[in-house]
Structure 1
Amino acid sequence: MIKPVIGLTGPTGAGKSTVASVFQKLGCAVIDADLLAREAVQNAECLAELKEEFGADLVNADGRLDRRLLAKRAFADPAKTLRLNQITHPVILKETVRRIQELQSGDSVAVILDAPLLFESGADSLCDTSVAVTAPAESRLKRIMNRDGLSEEAAKERMSAQNPNEFYEKRAGHVFSGSIGYDILEASVSCLLKQILGEENEAL
């Protein structure tokens, strides 16, 4: 039986990765779009375009990409963020399709596509439904600063490069609160998964 594909998205710091880990614990296969993106920028053609757009000094002497420097330059300007996405998304989408096809016939109950830019990249078209994880801006700011070791200014800059909660909530099939207590998190995600699987069964 072909397993449903659930897109998982939301703004940075909302708790999406935590929700993804719970989905995995509940028997879902998770495709990490961030991991695919890290692999994509090592693609020779992709890397050449990034160097041309953001500077040859992005690549260290050992041939490795300085991801922190790339993020600093790409997220400093919405136009640069858009350009980064234009360069990397085609490579990421191609690999995403391959991974989905591979996992849909596996033993998992569903395939989770964990993608921060699910809607912006058009990857939602690969999914049967989607879940947006959102949280208040103040909570997200604190999480980003703690998680990435950023200053408040740098964290706010990163947040401003993304769309607000409303962008995700209007487009997603389901909205999940990233502020929910950890003690009820697994039960809440389990309830959501059962709801989605029920909807998919009804659609067959």
Structure 2
Amino acid sequence: MKKYKILGLTGQTGAGKSTVSKVFAKNGTAVINADELVAELYMPDSVCLKILSAEFGSDIILPNKNLDRKKLAQRAFATKEKTAVLGKLIHPFVLSLFLEKTEKLVNSDKKFIVFDAPQLFESKANVICDYIISVTADENIRKQRIMQRDGISEEMAESRINAQLSENYFKDNSDFILENNGTKQELIDKAEGLFGYIRQVI
């Protein structure tokens, strides 16, 4: 029997989810990051890479057998349909690896495990979470953050935003919402407050 609660942490791209994740980690919570799991799955010659290259083109694999992430992103985030295809291919691998890692924490003293996953709902991983926290922000603010963070064009930033679920979806399907339309410190303070509440009440 598990001793911990799984907190699903998700949100819109550019909303500030990574900042919240760091706050929870600083407070001693085990954090499993979906992007890091994907990086493990994208190792050269992996089954996952072979499946992706068959779908999105063999040229997404570089001569050194590593994934050309930029090229994959350009193709996979071009439309909602393509994004859905990418998710359908990799989500089962990610979820399986997540469960494998949580098994190793069964006998730990961790009360909470945070699953930091931008596509928590799309992967259906929300069903294994005890509580869900979503980070949201206004679209224009997120667009500017994405352009600065990733060094991409406005068009590409909008493409990534449009490929995601709506803000209302996150709000309607989450237990807790952190809105991040202000400064980074304001978000940190909100996250600290939420963690304090969760630790006391849950």
- TM-score by length of structure 1 reads 0.91
After TM superposition, give the deviation of residue 109 of structure 1 in Å.
4.0
CA contact (8 A) 1:32 1:114 kept: yes
Q: When the two structures are aligned, how many residues end up with a matched partner?
A: 200
Question: What letter matches 2:80 in structure 1?
Answer: P
Structure 2 alignment gaps of length 5 or more: none
Alignment-derived partner of residue 29 in structure 1 = 30
How well do the aligned residues superpose, as a CA RMSD in angstroms? 1.7
Alignment-derived partner of residue 129 in structure 2 = 127
TM superposition outliers: structure 1 runs of 4+ over 3 Å: 180-187
After TM superposition, give the deviation of residue 124 of structure 1 in Å.
1.1
Separation in structure 2 between the aligned mates of residue 104 and residue 14 of structure 1, nearest angstrom: 31
Query: Is structure 2 residue 11 aligned with structure 1 residue 10?
Result: yes
Structure 1 alignment gaps of length 5 or more: none
Show CA shifts across 1:51-94 (max 9, x none): 11100111111111101100100000221111111110111110
Show CA shifts across 1:147-200 (max 9, x none): 000011111111111112111111111111122443444442222123223443
- TM-score by length of structure 2 reads 0.92
% same residue: 38
37-46 vs 80-89, which deviates more?
A: 37-46
Please show how residues 12-161 of structure 1 align to structure 2 within 5 Å.
12-42=13-43, 44-161=46-163
Separation in structure 1 between the aligned mates of residue 127 and residue 38 of structure 2, nearest angstrom: 18
After TM superposition, give the deviation of residue 108 of structure 1 in Å.
3.5
Give the direction of change, closer, same or farther, for the CA distance of 1:104–1:13 in structure 2 (3 Å limit).
farther
Give the direction of change, closer, same or farther, for the CA distance of 1:180–1:4 in structure 2 (3 Å limit).
farther
Give the direction of change, closer, same or farther, for the CA distance of 1:187–1:158 in structure 2 (3 Å limit).
closer
